[in-house]
């Protein structure tokens, strides 16, 4: 069905749809133009033949939902979000963040890579089939992904029947730097907390340090019980993952490990990884083990020279990343117990963010079909990342309430250098073509 001619037309249609989307300052952290953007998205879906409506959760801006009946009852659910990160620092942009600008084959705008281009190209590709695509399409576009989806769970639980499908394509995905598609099959959960200790009515002279209790030392000592020097989380009672990775999943990470290792090295200037991990071992750790990060630690003096003070108060911001079956609420209980058991009862724990882990197994038939199409289109099999290090709350909500397989594939025109969340966010226009080619082929293959 999709000829060379069709693809050029779909590309043009993608850009035509993308420009008005990028002009909407739909910054969820700033309560931006969420309602106007939801209205725009709803009208775009309706114009393409979708039955479209807005869904509201307990609070927050609406999500947009749409359905387009296809030649088959087999149903594909698409997930995207119409909100974007703040544009700050605006002064570092070379063109205004909400005035899309094409230069040197790139389209610059806040949110274009994450993830408005994907919205536009999915819509253009579906429309290429006329009013009846090969499969039935359902689509959910939320307005709060960039602020950790606080109301998505309530939207899904209220409208469960609208989300039923046979498979789901999440947002994201890309072609890797070596030209092979990169599939993501899961995300970690997260429990982020602040730990606070206050032991004195005011700062003390550091000459008393031999006897006066120190909030800073207590926090250092408590953190030291939670992770070993090889980077393994040592929280009492943290369950082992319920499902061990399959041989095939292990093989997948072992294969893509060296590429991923090099990408991390380049991105952050890493000389030695934790526990001197390399390649497949490194990616196994990242995919299949929980982690504990210190995002911040602040106490006492931090200026030039010396101040011999014993600080009254200390705080740490830490986040656990969790693998399937490790639920954030349970980990919060475990943390309290772990600290109390060691006498750290004075440490206050304030939960800051929670999200649950979720993953689709590599041997799921829907994953295999997506991979087979990728190999047919690109001439090589995709890299498989069974679980990325980050967390996306919407995935666990979808899986809990609707229970369908899902993944991110390569129907997305982004690349590693796209500056998502940063100034001068952009896509390369040339990346639109392979994404559309893949999506057209996949929809065709999934059809009757």
Of the residues 18, 63, 125, 286, which one makes contact with a copy of itself according to CB under 8 A? 286
Of 378, 203, 169, nearest in space to 301 by CA: 203
Of the residues 10, 252, 282, 440, which one makes contact with a copy of itself according to CB under 8 A? 282
- Least Cβ distance, residue 275 to a copy of itself (angstroms): 8
- Least Cβ distance, residue 240 to a copy of itself (angstroms): 15
Residue 39 burial by Cβ neighbours in a 10 Å radius (0-12, 13-18, 19+)? middle
Whichever of 231 and 381 has its CB closer to a copy of itself, that residue is 231
Of 320, 21, 257, nearest in space to 141 by CA: 21
Whichever of 166 and 239 has its CB closer to a copy of itself, that residue is 239
Residues 172-211 that bind a copy of itself (CB under 8 A): 188, 190, 192, 199-202, 204-211
Task: Return phi, psi of residue 75, to 5°.
Answer: -115, 130
Whichever of 207 and 403 has its CB closer to a copy of itself, that residue is 207
* Binding-residue total with a copy of itself (CB under 8 A): 73
Whichever of 71 and 270 has its CB closer to a copy of itself, that residue is 270
Residues 230-249 that bind a copy of itself (CB under 8 A): 231
- Least Cβ distance, residue 273 to a copy of itself (angstroms): 5
How far apart (Å, rounded) are the C-alpha atoms in residues 167 and 408?
Answer: 11
Cβ neighbours for 440, distance < 8 A, ≥ 6 positions apart: 1, 2, 6, 7, 10, 125, 128
Q: Residue 88: enclosing H or E segment and its boundaries? A: none
Which residue shows structure tokens 């490194």?
282
Cβ neighbours for 202, distance < 8 A, ≥ 6 positions apart: 312
Return the structure tokens found at 253. Answer: 């990470």
Whichever of 30 and 319 has its CB closer to a copy of itself, that residue is 319
Cβ neighbours for 266, distance < 8 A, ≥ 6 positions apart: none
Q: Is 31 in the site for a copy of itself (CB under 8 A)?
A: no
Q: Map residues 70-109 to x or -, x wherever contact with a copy of itself holds by CB under 8 A.
A: ----------------------------------------
Whichever of 35 and 225 has its CB closer to a copy of itself, that residue is 225
Q: Is 268 in the site for a copy of itself (CB under 8 A)?
A: yes
Whichever of 74 and 317 has its CB closer to a copy of itself, that residue is 317
Return the structure tokens found at 329. Answer: 């609420």
Of the residues 229, 379, 403, 448, which one makes contact with a copy of itself according to CB under 8 A? 229
Of the residues 216, 238, 432, 442, which one makes contact with a copy of itself according to CB under 8 A? 216
Residue span binding a copy of itself (CB under 8 A) among the ranges 40-48, 176-184, 260-268, 434-442: 260-268
DSSP string for 63-78: EEEEEE--SEEEEEEE
Whichever of 210 and 403 has its CB closer to a copy of itself, that residue is 210
In the 8-state DSSP scheme, what is residue 105? Answer: T
Q: Any bridge partners for residue 118, and if so which?
A: none
Residues 297-356 that bind a copy of itself (CB under 8 A): 297-302, 305-312, 314-315, 317, 319, 321, 352-353
Q: Is 403 in the site for a copy of itself (CB under 8 A)?
A: no
Task: Return phi, psi of residue 222, to 5°.
Answer: -65, -45
Please give the C-alpha separations between residue 392 and each of 143, 170, 247, in angstroms, as whole numbers: 14, 10, 26
């Amino acid at each position: 069905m999709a000829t060379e001619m069709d693809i050029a037309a779909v590309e043009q249609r993608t850009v035509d749809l993308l420009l008005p989307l990028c002009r909407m300052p739909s910054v969820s952290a700033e309560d931006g133009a969420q309602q106007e953007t939801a209205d725009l998205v709803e009208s775009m879906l309706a114009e393409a033949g979708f039955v479209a409506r807005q869904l509201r959760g307990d609070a927050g801006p609406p999500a947009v939902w749409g359905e387009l009946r296809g030649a088959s009852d087999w149903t594909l659910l698409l997930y995207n979000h119409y909100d974007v990160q703040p544009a700050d620092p605006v002064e570092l942009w070379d063109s205004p963040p909400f005035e899309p600008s094409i230069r040197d084959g790139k389209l610059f705008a806040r949110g274009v890579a994450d993830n408005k281009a994907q919205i536009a190209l999915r819509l253009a590709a579906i429309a290429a089939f006329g009013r009846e695509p090969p499969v039935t399409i359902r689509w959910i576009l939320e307005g709060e992904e960039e602020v950790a989806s606080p109301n998505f769970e309530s939207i899904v639980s209220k409208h469960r029947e609208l989300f039923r499908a046979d498979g789901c394509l999440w947002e994201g995905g890309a072609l890797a730097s070596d030209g092979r598609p990169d599939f993501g099959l899961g995300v970690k959960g997260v429990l982020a907390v602040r730990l606070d200790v206050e032991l004195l009515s005011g700062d003390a002279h550091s000459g008393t340090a031999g006897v006066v209790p120190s909030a800073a030392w207590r926090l250092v000592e408590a953190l030291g019980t939670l992770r070993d020097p090889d980077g393994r989380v040592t929280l009492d009672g943290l369950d082992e993952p319920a499902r061990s990775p399959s041989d095939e999943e292990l093989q997948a990470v072992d294969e893509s490990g060296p590429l991923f290792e090099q990408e991390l090295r380049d991105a952050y200037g890493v000389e030695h990884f934790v526990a001197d991990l390399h390649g497949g071992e490194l990616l196994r750790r990242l995919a299949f083990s929980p982690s504990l990060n210190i995002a911040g630690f602040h106490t006492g003096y931090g200026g030039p020279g010396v101040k011999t003070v014993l600080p009254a108060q200390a705080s740490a911001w830490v986040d656990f990343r969790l693998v399937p079956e490790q639920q954030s609420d349970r980990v919060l209980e475990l943390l309290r117990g772990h600290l109390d058991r060691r006498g750290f009862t004075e440490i206050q724990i304030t939960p800051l963010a929670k999200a649950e882990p979720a993953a689709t197994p590599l041997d799921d038939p829907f994953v295999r079909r997506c991979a087979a199409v990728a190999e047919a289109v690109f001439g090589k099999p995709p890299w498989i990342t069974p679980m990325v290090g980050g967390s996306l709350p919407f995935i666990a909500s979808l899986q809990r309430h609707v229970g369908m397989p899902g993944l991110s594939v390569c129907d997305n025109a982004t690349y590693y250098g796209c500056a998502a969340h940063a100034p001068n966010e952009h896509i390369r226009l040339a990346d639109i073509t392979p994404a559309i080619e893949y999506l057209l082929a996949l929809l065709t293959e999934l059809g009757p």
